[in-house]
Structure 1
Amino acid sequence: MRILLLEDDADLAEVVALGLRDACYAVDAVGTLAEAEELLRTTDYDVACLDLGLPDGDGLGLVDRLTRDAGLRRPRRVLVLTARDAVGDRVDGLDAGADDYLVKPFHFAELLARLRALARRSEGQGSVLRVGDVELDPAAHTARRAGADLALTAREYALLRYFMYRPGEVLSAEDLLEHVWDANADPFTASVRVILSRLRRKLGDPPVITTLTGVGYRLEAAP
């Protein structure tokens, strides 16, 4: 899952971005509306976490424009992160188009829980993801196949989680690079193939991730 984090407090942005990356999310962090809009014109995000009080304007305007400006790629979900805690502010944020609203200061565990809830809402999944005999628990950060624990690296786990949210969909290498890797990652899709090969080896037989030559990859229940 790739996240856009718009936060003008550099220290807070660094802490939140590091925590999210430790939880196997890909994160692009920016501090101004202009930077956020530049990314939103070229990059597809699963979630945007947006502050409201910013040095170059009000983030609420960006939340509203995401539903009206065809030049902006609206993330699947929008989460407002702000110090504005009045009921009216919450109502304004949700009415502008946000999917959730979290007031600062917040516990990081709650932010992670809300991100998991937004992912479930987007994909219609339960709290534990299951495809065939593969099971992934985003809250416990565990993955199993046929009841056996899988020892996955952070990138392997993030890749499997993205597949698990989209069972049966054909995902290109570019799709995977866009949503599982962030702007600091190796830009060559060969890195996708390397991590995918390792993940397949750990998942074992029979294979559950199939290759459609020239098209992409698909996660499906093993026969």
Structure 2
Amino acid sequence: MGTAVLVIEDSAPIRVAITAALNASGHTVLARADGRLLEHDLHEFRPDAVLLDVMLPGSDGFALLDVARRRSDAGILMVTARDAVADRLRGLTDGADDYIVKPFEMAELVARVNAVLRRRGRSIGTIHIDDLVIDADSATVSRGGHAIALTATEFRVLQFLAQRRGRVLTKPQILTAVWGYEHYDPNLVEVNISALRRKLDTHGPRLIHTERGFGYVLRSTADPAPSDTGPS
């Protein structure tokens, strides 16, 4: 079962992208444009982690950090375009668990959220499909007992496909979930899918299939036979 993440970010495009990426990783997300309801959300939503933008309308992220630290034991990550060392030190000194500077890739943000959750003993979960094991807590993958080294982006692509086992996912859907924006070069998806196939297929039958004209799907070998006719 996923963990709960509260996101407070006033930029709508960034807020939507972060929400999509965290949802794709199995987290339950509550997203707000400002911190007016922070105390209410900490009590009712009970997040395991809080992402706080620093430059917000009304109370800024540093003021909200103080509230969150006093009212919750959630992991707190500051997200901001302000990269001055003094700002980073202030956030960390005041109790933030991590400080992420914009711009960032969604794969990095999700990895750092998961790292904070691990340090606080919050379980993220493990996915088993045939002999494939995807451990989100340790960001590791194995198949048939063989450890498979993946990049952070490859891991996110595989996790997104595995969490939607049996569903055909389009390139824009994968781009939005992993990179945070559907208009990135779709070749990014093809390159990472090819790399995943090369690494996974070394240790067993193909799991990731192409549906020509639609996208990609991860199927168990016990599922109905794939009908993909796209490139192998």
Which residue, 102, 111, 114 being the options, matches 2:116? 111
**Percent same amino acid among aligned pairs?**
26
TM-score w.r.t. length of structure 1: 0.55
Tell me if the contact between 1:133 and 1:222 (Cα under 8 Å) persists in the aligned partners: no
Partner residue in 2 for 1:194: 191
Which residue, 149, 153, 158 being the options, matches 1:155? 153
Q: How does 1:81-120 map to 2 (within 5 A)?
A: 81=52, 82-85=65-68, 102=75, 105-108=95-98, 111-113=116-118
- Classify 1:5/1:214 alpha carbon distance in 2 versus 1 (closer, same or farther; 3 Å): same
Question: Does 153-162 or 195-204 show the bigger shift?
Answer: 153-162
- Classify 1:135/1:101 alpha carbon distance in 2 versus 1 (closer, same or farther; 3 Å): same
Is 2:65 the partner of 1:60? no
Q: Take 1:190 and 1:115, find their aligned partners in 2: how far apart are those partners?
A: 37
Deviation at 1:37, TM superposition (A): 2.5
What is the root-mean-square deviation of aligned Cα atoms in Å?
4.0
Q: Take 2:196 and 2:209, find their aligned partners in 1: how far apart are those partners?
A: 12
The code of the aligned residue for 1:168 comes to G
Is 2:20 the partner of 1:45? yes
The code of the aligned residue for 2:218 comes to L
Which residue, 141, 144, 149 being the options, matches 2:142? 144
Tell me if the contact between 2:208 and 2:217 (Cα under 8 Å) persists in the aligned partners: yes
Is 2:216 the partner of 1:217? yes
Unaligned regions of 5+ residues in structure 1, if any? 7-31, 65-76, 91-99, 121-126
Query: What are the Cα deviations for residues 85-119 of structure 1, in whole angstroms up to 9, with x where unaligned?
Result: 487x66xxxxxxxxx9546614457733399969x
Tell me if the contact between 2:21 and 2:180 (Cα under 8 Å) persists in the aligned partners: no
TM-score w.r.t. length of structure 2: 0.53
Tell me if the contact between 2:210 and 2:216 (Cα under 8 Å) persists in the aligned partners: yes
